[in-house]
């Protein structure tokens, strides 16, 4: 499948303003600035990949009218391997974007101005997969095996596994999005999203064994909606309306994904109906949590963010001084300002 994501956490160098403006100018729909459309607040959301089930709540909120009912005219802009969604929102070239938690922390530590307002994935879907007939039965045994793994060696989860299990016995080869090397057994293992590559392989009748990195203790939020800080400061009501409409969209998608999957398939024909059905069936385990049950879908806690920041320091992604520069990294719109539901404990030390 050509649009499988080769790297779902891209910690790219901070791009120049010229480059960001160039990328912004090339998006579908032209002008990225906000405006009023028929009395609705126009809001553009930059995705970090092509349309797929991990954005199911966004598409459901759009198609089922939740954004419009909240007074918003939302445009979902497809991403891709060369679209720096995180940098675009951190620099203010888009008001809202999908990012990973680790990416957002790194961007903020280096001067980016964006804040998480909704965590679609409560459990991290990052995983390592092997074929079902492999002798490797645990993630530790995979890490210590000889052979090749199709993955990006510079990602935070790779550093985490190295800190936990020691240097791997595997050699890394680039993952360009094709599953062919895995299917043909040219590689022993590969990186994956538990809701994506294993699903596609299952639909293609290639069974896999999935090892979630989250089960080793590295479990950051993912498919995070971040807004530029200027929007959060100037239009908090808009941000709250957006997140509540998105929560309604995810509720719809989890209950009945079929109609939204038809939209996703139209936008991304590489998906088969069967693949979309299988992916949607796996999403509740990652999108729902005790926190979402007691609050709402997309809810975040200071403890989870603080744990991630500690882990990023442990693996050398951030140093101690950069950690303090992260500041207020998340907000649950509608919660009391400066409450434990609105910022990471690290923010208090940022000054």
Mean pLDDT by 10-residue block, N- to C-terminus, for the chain (351 residues)?
45 41 39 54 96 97 98 96 94 97 97 98 98 97 97 95 96 92 96 96 96 98 98 97 98 98 96 95 98 98 98 97 97 73 42 28
Dig out the tokens for 349 from the structure: 């030390």
Three-point CA angle 135, 136, 141, nearest 5°: 140
Calculate the alpha carbon distances from 215 to 155, 184, 279, 346, 348 in Å. Answer: 17, 28, 20, 24, 29
pLDDT, position 335: 76
Gap between the Cα atoms of 347 and 230, Å rounded: 18
Gap between the Cα atoms of 265 and 43, Å rounded: 23
Dig out the tokens for 119 from the structure: 């965590």
Gap between the Cα atoms of 55 and 74, Å rounded: 14
**Which one, of 235, 223, 190, 13, lies nearest residue 121 by Cα?**
223
> Helices marked H in the chain — which ranges?
17-25, 56-63, 66-69, 85-91, 101-109, 139-144, 156-165, 180-183, 197-203, 229-234, 236-255, 258-267, 273-282, 284-287, 290-294, 302-314, 320-325
Q: What is the DSSP string of 273-336?
A: HHHHHHHHHHTHHHH--HHHHHS-TT---HHHHHHHHHHHHHTTSS-HHHHHHS---B--TTSP
pLDDT, position 10: 38
Q: Is the pTM of this model over 0.75?
A: yes
């Amino acid at each position: 499948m050509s649009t499988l994501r080769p790297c779902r956490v891209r910690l790219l160098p901070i791009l120049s303003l010229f480059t960001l403006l160039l990328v912004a100018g090339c998006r579908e729909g032209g002008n990225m600035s906000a405006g009023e459309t028929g009395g609705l607040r126009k809001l553009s959301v930059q995705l970090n990949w092509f349309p797929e089930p991990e954005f199911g709540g966004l598409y459901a909120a759009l198609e089922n009218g939740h954004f419009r009912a909240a007074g918003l005219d939302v445009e979902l802009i497809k991403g891709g391997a060369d679209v720096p969604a995180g940098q675009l929102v951190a620099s203010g070239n888009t008001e809202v974007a999908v990012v990973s938690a680790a990416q957002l922390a790194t961007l903020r530590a280096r001067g980016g101005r964006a804040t998480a307002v909704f965590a679609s994935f409560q459990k991290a879907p990052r995983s390592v997969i092997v074929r079902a007939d492999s002798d490797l039965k645990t993630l530790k045994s995979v890490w210590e095996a000889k052979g090749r793994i199709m993955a990006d060696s510079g990602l935070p989860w790779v550093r985490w596994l190295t800190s936990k299990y020691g240097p791997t016995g595997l050699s890394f080869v680039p993952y360009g999005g094709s599953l062919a090397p895995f299917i043909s057994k040219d590689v022993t293992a590969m990186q994956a999203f538990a809701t994506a590559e294993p699903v596609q392989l299952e639909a293609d009748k290639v069974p896999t064994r999935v090892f979630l990195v989250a089960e080793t203790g590295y479990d950051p939020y993912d498919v995070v909606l971040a807004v530029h800080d200027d929007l959060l400061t100037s239009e908090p009501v808009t941000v709250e309306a957006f997140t509540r409409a998105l929560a309604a969209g995810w509720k719809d998608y989890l209950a009945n994904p079929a109609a939204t999957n038809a939209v996703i398939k139209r936008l991304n024909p590489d998906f088969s109906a069967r693949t979309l059905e299988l992916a949607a069936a796996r999403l509740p385990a990652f999108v729902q949590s005790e926190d979402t049950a007691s609050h709402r879908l997309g809810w975040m806690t200071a403890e989870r963010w603080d744990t991630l920041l500690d882990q990023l320091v442990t693996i050398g992604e951030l140093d101690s001084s950069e950690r303090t520069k992260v500041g207020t990294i998340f907000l649950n719109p509608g919660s009391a300002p400066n409450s434990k539901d609105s910022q990471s404990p690290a923010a208090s030390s940022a000054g």
